[in-house]
């Protein structure tokens, strides 16, 4: 499941992976958390934040465009999670 998160972080979801692997979503969620120590959604959000961090530092694309390009559609959620993860807002983190 980790390869799906790192390779297709924009479009992946626990529901899609469970269907692809023919497992119950709740079962897969429990197994994932037991193995990684983190929930699927936390891991997916972390991957998306890492990618936005990289894109903010290497492109001139607007924050909204970067945010949606990695699969995050809620601006408030994004700004809150970004600041929590990196200690600053996305706009102030540009190089």
Count of helix runs (H) and strand runs (E) in the chain:
6, 0
pTM score > 0.85 for this model?
A: yes
Compute mean pLDDT per 10 residues along the chain, 95 residues long, and list them. 87 93 95 96 96 96 96 96 96 83
The encoded tokens of residue 50 equal 């890492």
Spell out the domain ranges in the chain. Answer: 2-93
- Measured CA to CA, the distance from residue 83 to residue 16 in angstroms comes to 29
Domain covering 2-93 in this structure, CATH number: 1.10.10.60
């Amino acid at each position: 499941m980790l390869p799906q998160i790192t390779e297709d972080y924009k479009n992946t979801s626990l529901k899609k992976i469970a269907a692809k692997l023919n497992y119950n979503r709740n079962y897969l969620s429990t197994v994932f958390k037991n193995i990684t120590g983190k929930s699927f959604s936390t891991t997916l959000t972390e991957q998306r934040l890492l990618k936005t961090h990289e894109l903010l530092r290497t492109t001139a694309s607007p924050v909204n465009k970067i945010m949606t390009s990695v699969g995050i559609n809620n601006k408030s959620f994004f700004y809150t999670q970004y600041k929590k993860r990196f200690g600053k807002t996305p706009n102030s983190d540009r190089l």
